[in-house]
């Protein structure tokens, strides 16, 4: 019914405007026109006037209007001034009482309506109507109300009254005509609802606040803040705020805007605190803080213009709703359970936001939507509150901080990852967590049972200790068990465990159980072992490092000195030649794999007692105990070098490496480990200096290096001058009857500091320094003198001879002939018995000259021997040009070898030597067999250790004297 009225009113309004326009033209006055009365049917509870009234938004101090035609049909003109004379907006409407009774109606203009309040710069409400002036009768009476301007209007039967209302604001969101009793009922109904909603909201806020005090988790104050904001909002929205604080009109928009800002802010705080966003990314903190500051700044804006602040807050709330939802979904997707739990609440919030948006834009427009939204807000906070509580209490009693000491200990045990070990002694049952069985891959229950069951799983070496410890604890009725042992896993590997337990003594003083923890310490153990290993091993090759090497060497030396067991340590140092260049050209990692390969190859060749170590870089060290004969050691070094020499394939290329070796033999005495190492290094350096790819055994002569050679030279000069140089005689024996036929004179030098120095060491020095002339003459003179003595004293059928070595430098010396001549003339020896030994290569280097010199020497009466025959490259036929009378076959031909061609070679040399008229001396005969073989091959003479080493002249004399007379004479 009423709608048809409205329709009618609307239609008439269009007409009205048209009439108004016409009137304006006629009266050339804007405010004067007649209006259509709105009938007030008696049976309608609420008559909607909002759209039926004339609204004069333009503020004027007074309004002139034509009234609706009264019952008498007369249109009057009235003029209404504003109360205080200021310019106002106005509204004009006419009501007609069509019934025959007097009607009382309440004209209600609410201060604020959410519906249609707009999203941007919303209308936040204010007092609407200042006063109403009727065209006739009594002025409407204002009724007391906190949320609307309410006027009681009384219409006499049949009366048509025009009302001019002076407005407070240019907008009139709603204007209704209520039956007084219905209006009061409605208000009462809402009041009840609001009370309930506010009550719930207040309780919720209070409850969450109390929870915060109790729990102290940051999410509670955040949720409480949200709840309080909602409460504040509702208080304002429901008009309780002004009731509480007795506010005068006009302040409301500020409070409303502030409430909306607070609501939005608390939503951000809540989301941030609840989701713990600062934990995920610091940016969230910045974002939250900035938006919060901005929103709180809005409070300031609200003071200046509540509408602007509220608009921004509403917009912000929408954005937060959406962004928050996205964040929650993302975090939920990542499995963050707080986010998952928040989804329903936030979903509801989103729905609420949509509803609110529809409401404020006017899409949703009815009377219950505003209180319903208020209720919805409480519902959301309720749901959030539940979520938060559920979450906070999800940790159970433990999380509450109030736990007993026993519980705390139990928890600590769980936290530490220790396994419980409990032995009930009376029942003899061990209980232990399943973790042990899981670790060992054992069947469940294997370790649960009598203590003796454990013995099967324990490492054999740990069994007795385990048993003894348990027994001891029971016997002593105290103490504690701290033990590390190994348990066998299903696949036969052992894991290490550390048991720490204490006995518990019962009332009778007996131990009733042992309780403690078991911890898997396998990793610790292996780490320890690895540390120990790493400390003494090279981390690239896994070989012992220098420390371990030195330690082994020290032990070996000590053992050798103490036990006289015959084991003698030898140190071999091996260094790769040119390794630095190789490393530079193919890269360090390739270099590393070469070092590794070399280590493996060397390792394969050494004995079990020997130690191979990587001393540093490309320097390897060996302590050899498996061989003690120098020759064998040298042979080992040789095979090591050969092993290195075979090509190393690296990727697609083959690398050829050689190495040098220095060998230091242990000589006993005061020699210590450092000496051995230093000697090996000296020998190694010597080998490298000689071009590498060779090995050198340490000899004292090697020790002086660089400037020390000069000292040695001076020492040698001194020795010759002071006649300290030893002149030794090695017998040369007739093979047919093993009688001494003569001697080779060999120089011997015992250096006062460096000990015995071999001729092969000092002869080159003498040659280089020119000392060889003095040395040679000295030897010649001593030898000749001695020979003369023997020839005088010992009567032999064939005269004894003496062979003196001649160096190349001596041959080139022009004084040689004269010197030899002088010696021969002075000593009066039998012709040809003082022989001069010259090496093959020496003669061959300048054959023309040599022939001349040799012939002159021969002419002086000196014998001539060709020494070390076979080591050079000359042929025998060539030699026939030289006037040699004796040929000395080099020891390398004499030494027995597997080579079958040796004897043929020897036989040929002997035969051809004989053909050339030379007597043959074989050098280096070291055994009877060799001597016999040489004899059978046709050699007349032999020289070698089998017949005697070089000895002093006195000893040589003794040997001569001991010779059986007939032999010596024959």
**Contact residues for ligand C2E, defined by CB under 6 A:** 730, 746-747, 758-760, 763, 776, 779, 805-807, 837, 867-868, 891, 924-926, 943-945, 950
90: which residues sit within 8 A by CB, 6+ positions away?
A: 55, 56, 60, 63, 80, 164, 165, 166, 167
Among candidate residues 755, 724, 739, 752, the one with its CA nearest the CA of residue 801:
739
Provide the minimum distance between the beta carbon of 753 and Ca ion in the complex, in angstroms, as a whole number. 28
Please give the C-alpha separations between residue 235 and each of 222, 262, 315, in angstroms, as whole numbers.
20, 13, 22
CA pair distance 625, 608, nearest whole angstrom: 9
Q: Residue 469: which of ligand C2E, Ca ion, none does it interact with, CB under 5 to 8 A by kind?
A: none
CA-nearest of 776, 826, 832, 766 to 804 is 776
**SS3 at position 296:** helix
Size (the chain), residues = 970
SS3 content of the chain, % helix, strand, coil (to 5): 50, 20, 30
- Rounded Cα distance between 943 and 803, Å, is 12
For ligand C2E, the closer of residues 114 and 779 by Cβ is 779
* Total residues in contact with Ca ion, by rule CB under 5 A: 5
Nearer to Ca ion, 257 or 922 (CB): 922
Q: What is the smallest separation between the CB atom of 808 and ligand C2E, expressed in angstroms?
A: 9
**Structure tokens that stand for 208 in this block:** 């969450």
Q: Which does 945 bind (CB under 5 to 8 A by kind): Ca ion, ligand C2E, none?
A: ligand C2E
3-class secondary structure, 421: strand
- Determine which helix (DSSP H) or strand (DSSP E) holds 379, and give its type and residue range: helix 369-393
Nearer to ligand C2E, 142 or 809 (CB): 809
Provide DSSP, 655-678: E---EEEEEEE---TT--HHHHHH
Q: Is 640 exposed, middle or buried (0-12, 13-18, 19+ CB in 10 A)?
A: buried
Minimum gap (Å) between residue 746 Cβ and ligand C2E: 4
Among ligand C2E, Ca ion, none, what does residue 117 contact (CB within 5–8 Å per kind)? none
Report the alpha-carbon distance of residue 128 to residue 148 in Å, rounded. Answer: 8
Q: Which of 540, 545, 689, 574 is nearest to 642 (CA)?
A: 574
The item of Ca ion, ligand C2E, none sharing an interface with residue 950, based on CB under 5 to 8 Å by kind, is: ligand C2E
By C-beta, is 133 or 739 nearer to ligand C2E? 739
CA distances from 595 to 149, 540, 721, 730 (A): 102, 8, 52, 48
CB 837 to Ca ion: min, Å: 4
The secondary element (H helix, E strand) that includes residue 131 is strand 129-134
Q: Is residue 868 at the binding interface for Ca ion, with CB under 5 A as the rule?
A: yes
CA distance 785 to 325: 121
Residue 713 interacts with Ca ion (CB under 5 A)? Answer: no
Residue 953, contacted partner among ligand C2E, Ca ion, none, CB below 5-8 A by kind: none
Q: How far is the CB of 655 from ligand C2E (least distance, A)?
A: 38
**What minimum distance in Å lies between the beta carbon of 868 and ligand C2E?**
5
Q: CB of 686: closest distance to Ca ion in angstroms?
A: 23
Helices 847-860 and 816-827 pack at an angle, to 10 degrees, of 20
Scanning 98-106, 122-130, 550-558, 919-927 for contacts with Ca ion by CB under 5 A, the matching segment is: 919-927
- Among the residue ranges 414-422, 747-755, 812-820, 922-930, the one whose residues contact Ca ion (CB under 5 A): 922-930
- The tokens for 201 are 């909201």
Q: Choose which of 89, 432, 611, 805 interacts with Ca ion (CB under 5 A).
A: 805
Q: Which of 54, 577, 867, 933 binds Ca ion (CB under 5 A)?
A: 867
- Which of the choices Ca ion, ligand C2E, none does residue 657 contact, using the CB cut-off of 5 to 8 A by kind? none
CB-CB contact of 124 with 116 (8 Å): no
Tokens 């509702």, residue?
234
- Smallest separation (angstroms) from ligand C2E to the CB of 805: 4
Helical spans, DSSP H, in 564-705: 579-586, 588-605, 630-645, 673-689
CA 577 – CA 659 distance, rounded (Å): 5
CB of 868 to Ca ion, least distance (A): 4
Looking at the Cβ atoms of 69 and 759, the one nearer to ligand C2E is 759
Residue 697 C-beta: closest distance to Ca ion, Å: 20
Nearest to ligand C2E by Cβ — which residue? 944
763 binds, among ligand C2E, Ca ion, none (CB under 5 to 8 A by kind): ligand C2E
Confirm if 657 and 594 have CB atoms less than 8 A apart.
yes
Per-position x/- string for 373-412, each x denoting binding to Ca ion as judged by CB under 5 A, each - no binding = ----------------------------------------
Of the two residues 837 and 940, which places its CB atom closer to Ca ion in the complex?
837
C-alpha distances (whole Å) from 911 to each of 841, 889, 916, 939 are 21, 12, 9, 9
Residue 926 contact partner, candidates ligand C2E, Ca ion, none, CB within 5 to 8 A by sort of partner: ligand C2E
Q: Which is nearer to ligand C2E, 321 or 944 (CB)?
A: 944
Distance CA 24, CA 14 (A): 15
400 forms beta bridges with: none
Binding residues among 833-852 for Ca ion as defined by CB under 5 A: 837
Dist CA 11 CA 14 (whole Å): 5
DSSP per-residue letters across 702-741: GS--TTHHHHHHHHHHHHHHTT-SEEEEEEEEETTT--EE
264 binds Ca ion (CB under 5 A): no
Taking the complex as a whole, how short is the minimal distance between the CB of residue 829 and ligand C2E, in angstroms?
18
Q: Which is nearer to ligand C2E, 520 or 867 (CB)?
A: 867
Q: Output 503 or 924, the one with its CB closest to Ca ion.
A: 924
Kindly state the smallest distance separating residue 705's Cβ from ligand C2E, in Å.
Answer: 22
With CB cut-offs between 5 and 8 Å by kind, which of ligand C2E, Ca ion, none does residue 462 bind? none
Least distance in angstroms from the C-beta of 928 to Ca ion:
21
Least separation in angstroms between residue 888's CB and Ca ion is 5
Residue 807 interface partner, choices ligand C2E, Ca ion, none, CB cut-off 5-8 Å depending on type: ligand C2E
Residue 624 binds what, of ligand C2E, Ca ion, none (CB under 5 to 8 Å, by partner type)? none
Residue placing its CB nearer to ligand C2E in the complex, 122 or 731: 731
Nearer to Ca ion, 437 or 868 (CB): 868
Give, in degrees to the nearest 5, the angle at Cα 129 between 124 and 132.
Answer: 170
Tokens of 21: 């326009």
Quick check: 696 binds Ca ion (CB under 5 A)?
A: no
The residues binding Ca ion (CB under 5 A) are 805, 837, 867-868, 923
């Amino acid at each position: 019914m009423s709608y048809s009225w409205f329709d009618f009113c609307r239609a008439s309004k269009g007409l009205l405007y048209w009439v108004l326009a016409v009137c304006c033209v006629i009266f050339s006055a804007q405010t004067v026109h007649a209006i259509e009365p709105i009938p007030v049917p008696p049976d309608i509870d609420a008559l909607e006037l909002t759209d039926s009234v004339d609204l004069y938004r333009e503020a004027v101090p007074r309004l002139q209007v034509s009234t609706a035609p009264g019952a008498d049909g007369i249109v009057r003109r009235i003029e209404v001034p504003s109360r205080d004379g200021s310019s106002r907006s106005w509204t004009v409407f006419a009501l007609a009482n069509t019934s025959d009774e007097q009607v009382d109606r309440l004209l209600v203009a609410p201060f604020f309506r959410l519906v249609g309040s707009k999203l941007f710069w919303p209308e936040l409400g204010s007092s609407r109507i200042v006063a109403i002036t009727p065209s006739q009768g009594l002025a409407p009476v204002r009724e007391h109300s906190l949320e609307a301007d309410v006027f009681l209007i009384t219409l006499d039967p049949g009366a048509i009254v025009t009302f001019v209302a002076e407005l407070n604001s240019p907008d009139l969101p709603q204007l209704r005509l209520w039956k007084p009793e219905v209006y009061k009922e409605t208000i009462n109904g809402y009041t009840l609802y609001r009370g309930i909603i506010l009550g719930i909201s207040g309780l919720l806020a209070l409850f969450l606040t109390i929870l915060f005090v109790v729990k102290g988790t940051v999410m509670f104050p955040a949720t409480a803040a949200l709840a309080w904001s909602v409460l504040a909002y509702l208080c304002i929205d429901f008009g309780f705020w002004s009731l509480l604080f007795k506010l005068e009109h006009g302040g409301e928009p500020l409070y409303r805007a502030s409430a909306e800002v607070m609501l939005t802010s608390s939503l951000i705080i809540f989301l941030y605190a609840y989701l713990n966003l600062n934990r995920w990314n610091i940016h969230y903190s910045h974002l939250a803080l900035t938006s919060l500051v901005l929103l709180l700044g809005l409070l300031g804006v609200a003071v200046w213009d509540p509408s602007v602040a509220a608009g921004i807050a509403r917009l912000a709330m929408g954005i937060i709703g959406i962004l928050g939802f996205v964040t929650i979904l993302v975090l939920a997707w990542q499995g963050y359970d707080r986010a998952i739990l928040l989804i329903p609440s936030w979903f509801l919030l989103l729905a609420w936001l949509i509803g609110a948006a529809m409401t404020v834009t006017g899409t949703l427009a009815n009377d219950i939507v505003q209180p319903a939204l208020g209720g919805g807000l409480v519902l959301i906070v309720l749901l959030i509150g539940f979520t938060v509580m559920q979450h906070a209490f999800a940790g159970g009693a433990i999380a509450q901080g109030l736990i007993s000491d026993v519980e705390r200990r139990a928890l600590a045990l769980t936290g530490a990852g220790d396994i419980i070990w409990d032995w009930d002694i009376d029942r003899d049952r061990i209980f232990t967590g399943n973790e042990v069985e899981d670790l060992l891959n054992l069947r469940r229950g294997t370790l649960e049972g009598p203590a003796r069951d454990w013995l099967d799983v324990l490492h054999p070496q740990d069994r007795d200790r385990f048993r003894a410890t348990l027994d001891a604890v029971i016997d002593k009725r105290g103490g504690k068990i701290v033990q590390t042992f190994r348990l066998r896993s299903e696949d036969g590997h052992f894991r290490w465990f550390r048991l720490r337990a204490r006995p518990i003594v019962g009332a009778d003083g007996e131990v009733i159980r042992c309780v403690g923890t078991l911890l898997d310490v396998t990793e610790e153990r292996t780490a320890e072992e690895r540390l120990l290993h790493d400390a003494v091993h090279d981390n690239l090759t896994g070989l012992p490092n220098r420390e371990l090497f030195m330690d082994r060497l020290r032990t070996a030396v000590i053992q050798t000195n103490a036990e006289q067991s015959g084991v003698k340590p030898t140190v071999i140092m091996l260094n790769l030649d040119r390794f630095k260049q190789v490393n530079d050209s193919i890269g360090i990692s390739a270099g590393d794999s070469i070092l590794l390969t070399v280590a493996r190859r060397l390792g394969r060749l050494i004995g079990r007692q020997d130690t191979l170590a990587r001393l540093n870089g490309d320097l390897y060290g060996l302590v050899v105990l498996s061989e003690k004969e120098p020759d064998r050691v040298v042979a080992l070094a040789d095979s090591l070098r050969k092993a290195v020499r075979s090509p190393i394939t690296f990727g697609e290329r083959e690398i050829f490496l050689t190495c040098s070796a220095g060998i230091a033999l242990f000589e006993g005495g005061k020699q210590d480990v450092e000496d051995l190492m230093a000697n090996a290094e000296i020998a190694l350096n010597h080998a490298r200096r000689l071009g590498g790819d060779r090995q050198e055994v340490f000899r004292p002569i090697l020790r002086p290096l660089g400037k020390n050679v000069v000292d040695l030279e001076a020492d040698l000069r001194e020795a010759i001058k002071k006649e300290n140089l030893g002149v030794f005689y090695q017998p040369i024996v007739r093979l047919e009857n093993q009688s001494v036929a003569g001697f080779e004179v060999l120089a011997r030098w015992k250096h006062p500091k460096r000990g015995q120095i071999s001729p092969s060491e000092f002869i080159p020095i003498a040659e280089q320094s020119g000392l060889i002339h003095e040395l040679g003459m000295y030897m010649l003179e001593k030898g000749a003198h001695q020979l003369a003595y023997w020839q005088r004293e010992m009567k032999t059928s064939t005269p004894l001879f003496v062979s003196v070595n001649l160096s190349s430098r001596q041959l080139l010396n022009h004084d040689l002939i004269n010197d030899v001549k002088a010696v021969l003339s002075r000593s009066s020896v039998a012709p040809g018995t003082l022989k001069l030994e010259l090496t093959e290569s020496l003669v061959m280097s300048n054959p023309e000259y040599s022939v001349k010199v040799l012939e002159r020497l021969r002419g002086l009466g000196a014998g001539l021997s060709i020494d070390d025959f076979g080591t050079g490259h000359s042929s025998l036929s060539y030699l026939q040009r030289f006037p040699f009378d004796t040929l000395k076959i080099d020891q390398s031909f004499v030494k027995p070898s597997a080579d079958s061609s040796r004897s043929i070679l020897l036989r040929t040399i002997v035969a051809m030597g004989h053909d050339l008229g030379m007597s043959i001396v074989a050098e280096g005969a070291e055994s009877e067999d060799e001597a016999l073989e040489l004899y059978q091959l046709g050699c007349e003479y032999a020289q070698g250790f089998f017949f005697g080493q070089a000895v002093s002249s006195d000893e040589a004399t003794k040997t001569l004297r001991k010779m059986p007379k007939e032999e010596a004479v024959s």
